[in-house]
Amino acid sequence: MINYKSRDEIKRMRHAGHIVALVHKKMKEVIEPGISTRELDSIAEKIIRENRAVPTFLGYNGFPGCICTSINEQVVHGIPSENIILKEGDIISVDVGATYGGMVGDSAWTHPVGKISGDVAKLMKVTEEALFAGISKMRAGNILDDISGAIEDVANREKYGIVRQYGGHGVGHQMHEDPFLFNYRVGDKLPLKKNMVIAIEPMLNLGGDEVVVASDEWTVSTKDGKPSAHFEHTVLCTEDEPMIMTQLME
């Protein structure tokens, strides 16, 4: 069932999204060689709670962190740890969820740690481009597959792998609501309508599509060990331009 959001729900989601964006802004400042992913988690938790929100991920199906921190070949759902220290040349995807007034904002960003190689920098740039290509299709009158196709076309252009088992999703009262959004065409003709909110989140790999889940039952990595990038925004469908909810409010 699709939950269309009321004016008041949209207002609270926008606030949740602002808090998520505050966390990402801080992450950009503090990510550098030598910091542990547990420290990043603590910084994120502090910002979320100071803004009277709740870290959505903490305890979600038992997840032990406030953010997901996925490094290099890790795609999503990496668990923050004091033993995981960022190194020069790594990339790290930070996925953040905040619940404010009962409504969720969900956004992920991949950051470089110091200086990174050219092919990995390009992977990041193209994955971000795929996100915005998807967002541009979040318009009333389009169908869900238009978003999937826009992401797929960008990935195919560069011959990047597309993660098949994970994708975007409706978001609102819950982090994961209907519909599920594939990052490649599946022929889903669901009409996009005003007041739908979807978290659009391409995960692209420098190598093949395939991923494996680690023995911690959370961390998803590429099977071939090649790097993966992940960018996500929570996006509202309006009568006009799509509205990115997980950005800073002026």
Interface residue with Mg ion among 199, 200, 211, 237 (CB under 5 A) is 199
What letter does residue 59 receive in the DSSP assignment? T
Tell whether the torsion through CA atoms of 201, 90, 124 and 157 is positive or negative: negative
Least distance to Mg ion from the beta carbon of 159, Å?
25
For position 106 contacting Mg ion by CB under 5 A, the verdict is yes
Radius of gyration of the chain (CA): 17
Interface mask toward Mg ion for 76-105; x: CB under 5 A: -------------------x----------
The correct pick among 54, 108, 150, 162 for binding Mg ion (CB under 5 A) is 108
CB of 73 or CB of 106, closer to Mg ion: 106
| Residue whose entry in the numeric block shows the structure tokens 């990047």 | 160
DSSP state of 109: E
Q: Which of these, 138, 193, 142, 194, lies nearest to 168 by C-alpha position?
A: 138
Nearest to Mg ion of 85, 186 (CB atom): 186
Closer CB to Mg ion, 9 or 95, in the complex = 95
Q: Determine the interface stretch with Mg ion among 12-20, 116-124, 138-146, 191-199 (rule: CB under 5 A).
A: 191-199
Spatial distance between the Cα atoms of 92 and 141, rounded to a whole number of angstroms: 36
Length of the chain: 250
β-pairing, 220-222 vs 177-181, is: unpaired
Instruction: Give the count of residues interacting with Mg ion (CB under 5 A).
Output: 5
Sites for Mg ion among residues 226-245 (CB under 5 A): 232
Q: Which is nearer to Mg ion, 205 or 246 (CB)?
A: 246
Distance separating alpha carbons of residues 135 and 151, to the nearest angstrom: 9
Cis before 80? omega within 30: no
Q: Does 31 bind Mg ion (CB under 5 A)?
A: no
Q: Give least dist CB 88 to Mg ion, A.
A: 26
Q: Which is nearer to Mg ion, 106 or 145 (CB)?
A: 106
User: Which residues of the shown chain bind Mg ion in the complex (CB under 5 A)?
Assistant: 95, 106, 108, 199, 232
